[in-house]
Amino acid sequence: MNLISDMQIPVRRAPHSRIHEVDWGNLELGQYNSDHMLVCDYSEGRWFGPEIMPFGPFSLLPTTLAFHYGQTIFEGMKAFRTADGRVHIFRPEKHYERWVRSAERLCMPVVPSEVFMEGMRRLVQLDREWAPGSTGSALYIRPFQIATDFRLKLKIAESYRFAIVCSPAGNYFSRPVRVKVEREYARAVKGGTGYAKCGGNYGASLFPTQMAKAEGYDQVLWTDGVSHQYIEESGMMNVFFVIDGVLVTPPLNDTTLDGVTRDSLLVLASAAGIPVEERSVSVDELREGLERGRVREAFGAGTAAVISPIWQIGIDGRDYTIPVSRDGGSIGPELKEALDSIRYGRTEDPYGWNFYV
Ligand code: COI
């Protein structure tokens, strides 16, 4: 048996690549998976046997705990191909820090960083041809962990599977989105799991989103779960507003995900001299700001969607349109360009964010 301490990650290669099947102009997340995946299991108090192997199905009993009680976590990262043809993973350490917090909240053992980081590096290196080079596209990396005990008793599992799969991805949203301020349902509540990247958060968001879609919106703008007065996130992303020329985003707390794109945009905005505030934004402030033209931009930010402009916001039955700036002076596009320039290697990476494989 292969213990983690000797850091052997054997590679079982796929007999042939499936890369020729990819329609590169039409990349829906998860539609194509790269040739290999990494798998590592945990039982009897230790991680063992990490292996890179051909992408393929898992065989699990129907009583596997993850199917029933939601003990699952995941991350979303991206690998980019830079102009000189090299491939890097964007800010993996920051994702691993969040992974640790998610695992702790869900009572899961934390996979060692050697397996997470080094396993991912080797996997992406092996499947580097799958990283598209065009701006807006990347190789999406999905580490996840599930409870694998096969018992129906509700308890903290004693065995787990950690895996990483990769999928080439284009733009998540093809156009600016219309969002509805959600005043009834909650994504997260104080003391809950909002800050963790656990499957249940996403499953529970589907119904309110479906209701908003029935009204013609693309996403919900989540408010706090107690008063429904303060904006928290947008759909599956963090949210930013430009109010009176200041870039404003709600602060981090246990109901908000500590987004890596969010953090990167805050750093880039400060470096560009754009005034930034991490503070609460009430629905009343948002409504008034939209009515008076003080809210000039709104956008969601996340790994999958990068920066997703919001063109209309529905508040209590009334829609407010944010005029799309055509003078090139908008902050969202400026920040996206700054981020893309680093990620696609068009400028230097002064922050050491690109982790070359
Ligand atoms: C991401 O942005 O990476 C996410 O995890 C969102 C996911 C629902 C695609």
Q: What is the pLDDT of residues 252-290, one digit of tens each?
A: 999 999 999 999 999 999 999 999 999 999 999 999 999
Greater confidence (83 vs 61) lies with 61
List pocket residues of ligand 1, CB cut-off 6 Å: 76, 202, 236, 302-304
Mean pLDDT of 140-146: 98
Mean pLDDT of the chain: 94
Last residue of a domain, one of 155, 170, 185: 170
242 Cα: distance to centroid of ligand 1 (angstroms): 23
Q: Are residues 131 and 244 in the same domain?
A: no
Q: Is residue 63 part of a domain?
A: yes
Provide the pLDDT confidence category of residue 240 given band limits of 50, 70 and 90: very high
pLDDT at 243: 96
Mean pLDDT of 132-151: 93
pLDDT at 327: 54
Q: Are residues 151 and 79 in the same domain?
A: yes
Mean pLDDT of 56-71: 97
**Measured from the CA of 142, which atom of ligand 1 is nearest?**
3
Mutate to test the pocket of ligand 1, among 258, 303, 306, 307 (most ligand atoms within 8 A of CB): 303
58 Cα: distance to centroid of ligand 1 (angstroms): 22
Q: Say if residue 128's pLDDT is above 90.
A: yes
Q: Are 37 and 123 in contact (CB under 8 A)?
A: yes
Q: Are residues 161 and 188 in the same domain?
A: no
- Supply the CATH number for residue 241's domain: 3.20.10.10
Mean pLDDT of 232-259: 96
Distinct helix (H) and strand (E) counts, the chain = 8, 17
First to last CA, the chain: 27
Q: Is residue 351 part of a domain?
A: no
Q: Are residues 187 and 159 in the same domain?
A: no
Last residue of a domain, one of 170, 205, 227: 170
Q: What is the pLDDT of residues 304-321, one digit of tens each?
A: 889 999 999 999 999 999
Provide the pLDDT confidence category of residue 7 given band limits of 50, 70 and 90: low
Q: Say if residue 34's pLDDT is above 60.
A: yes
- Supply the CATH number for residue 61's domain: 3.30.470.10
75 Cα: distance to centroid of ligand 1 (angstroms): 8
Q: Are residues 155 and 182 in the same domain?
A: no
Nearest residue CA, atom 5 of ligand 1?
Answer: 76
Q: Are residues 187 and 258 in the same domain?
A: yes
Q: Say if residue 116's pLDDT is above 80.
A: yes
Q: Is residue 161 part of a domain?
A: yes
Q: Is residue 147 part of a domain?
A: yes
Q: Say if residue 95's pLDDT is above 50.
A: yes
Mean pLDDT of 149-155: 93
Q: Are residues 237 and 158 in the same domain?
A: no
Provide the pLDDT confidence category of residue 5 given band limits of 50, 70 and 90: very low
pLDDT at 329: 66
Q: Are residues 99 and 199 in the same domain?
A: no
Q: Is residue 115 part of a domain?
A: yes
Q: Say if residue 217's pLDDT is above 80.
A: yes
Provide the pLDDT confidence category of residue 26 given band limits of 50, 70 and 90: confident
Q: Say if residue 127's pLDDT is above 70.
A: yes
The CA distance from 21 to 19, in Å, is: 5
Q: Are residues 148 and 202 in the same domain?
A: no
Q: Is residue 32 part of a domain?
A: yes
Q: Max CA-CA distance within the chain?
A: 66
**Measured from the CA of 75, which atom of ligand 1 is nearest?**
5
Q: Are residues 328 and 194 in the same domain?
A: yes
Q: Is residue 225 part of a domain?
A: yes
Segment among 132-141, 275-284, 292-301 with least mean pLDDT: 132-141
Q: Are residues 270 and 316 in the same domain?
A: yes
Q: Are 270 and 263 in contact (CB under 8 A)?
A: no
Last residue of a domain, one of 126, 145, 170: 170
Q: Is residue 357 part of a domain?
A: no
Q: Are residues 205 and 325 in the same domain?
A: yes
The total domain count for the chain is 2
pTM to 2 decimals?
0.94
| Backbone torsion region of residue 229, taken as left when φ is above 0, otherwise alpha when ψ lies between -120 and 50, otherwise beta | alpha
The CA distance from 124 to 354, in Å, is: 13
Domain that holds residue 225: 177-343
Mean pLDDT of 204-222: 97
- Residues sharing a CB contact under 8 Å with residue 5, sequence separation 6 or more, in sequence order: none
